[in-house]
Copies of this chain bind each other. A is one copy, B any other.
Amino acid sequence: MTVKVAVAGASGYAGGEALRLLLAHPEVEIGAVTAASSAGTPLGQHQPHLAPLAGRILLETSAQTLGGHDVVFLALPHGHSAEIAAQLGPEVLVVDLGADHRLTDAADWQRWYGGDHAGAWPYGLPELPGARQRLAGTKRIAVPGCFPTGGTLALAPALAAGLVRPEVVIAAVTGTSGAGKSLKPHLLGSEVMGSASAYGVGGAHRHTPEFAQNLSAVAGGPVSVSFTPVLAPMPRGILTTASAPLAGTTDAAAVRAVYEKAYADEPFVQVLPEGAWPVTSATLGSNNVQLQVAVDADAGRLVVVAAIDNLTKGTAGGAIQSMNIALGLPETTGLPTVGVAP
């Protein structure tokens, strides 16, 4: 099978990562690469690491340029995907790396993003219960947010098993690429290096309802989520620290067994050996999630730490994993399980 794939938003970080991974995918031929203000310039000017595509000229993002492909990746700011998807026809697999189709609740969408809700698409986190069935054969995929990818996988087994009460606290440290290639002063290298900062505090980050949606589904009831993102001086990576009050047992081995069983067959999730703690660099450039769990008997809480690459498993790698399922390919096709370190 050779699948022809177009990438919209190819000058940005999510689009660039999609292209990096698609270049290594044995069943993919890369078609149109499109952009907005950078249309007409060579891709190499924006993504010099994509050497084999350096001479490709960026086209305007439109239904026309994106037409005629088997798969279209949309790496666009939120609010732009629905209209384009509608024009692409139901036979095209549209993979939305943006936020437009993640939330099932229209009121949530309006509160957090504003504007009309475009509707929800099958949610591209294959490790969730039932997700693979929903993704198989689908022509529309909503790629999860980067924070919800790490945090959901960190807490899902405990909530599903009833190990914790549905009141979770998540603090996640992210690299700067999660904010995109935005020309904002606080994202300048001079500001970012040597410094950590919080933002979207107190439930103000748009990924909060997505956490709640995922975790409530797993728990079978409402889960309250306190989420604090922290910006750290690194280009990539998310280290999620998540905790919740233990519901009963404080037996660390029992808790650990729940996690090991939950992820035993997952090709991209590694529950680390006892004593080893996740480091984001170990997942850099890979589609892996590395996890560790601890029981804090004094505080009566379960604590889970998870490392991912926000651009790979957290965005474009997760997208390709779901694409593989949708197309009926082996789920791991073309996806790295080896990080780039040090």
Residues of A bordering B, CB below 8 Å:
13, 16, 20, 23-24, 42, 44-52, 54, 167, 169, 171, 173, 175-177, 179, 181-199, 201-204, 208, 224-226, 228, 230, 232-237, 239, 241, 243, 270, 272-273, 276-286, 288, 290, 292, 294-301, 303, 305, 307, 336-342
Contacts and interface: CB of A to CB of B under 8 A. Distances in A.
Kindly report how many copies of this chain are found in the complex they form together: 4
Contacts of A305: 198, 201, 228
Contact of A276 (B44, B169, B189, B230): B44
A50 B334 CA distance: 17
B176 A183 contact: no
A279 B188 CA distance: 14
A269 to B, nearest CB: 10
Contacts of A299: 167, 203, 224-226
Given A181-B188, A232-B232, A339 B276 contact: no
A294 B227 CA distance: 12
B23 A201 contact: no
Given A186-B279, A202-B296, A203-B297, 20 more contacts: A16-B342, A20-B338, A20-B340, A46-B185, A48-B341, A51-B286, A167-B299, A169-B243, A189-B193, A194-B237, A196-B232, A197-B239, A198-B241, A201-B294, A202-B295, A203-B298, A230-B239, A232-B232, A235-B341, A284-B340
Contacts of A194: 175, 193-194, 234-237, 280-281, 284
B50 A281 contact: no
Given A279-B48, A342-B236, A181 B192 contact: no
A13 B47 CA distance: 27
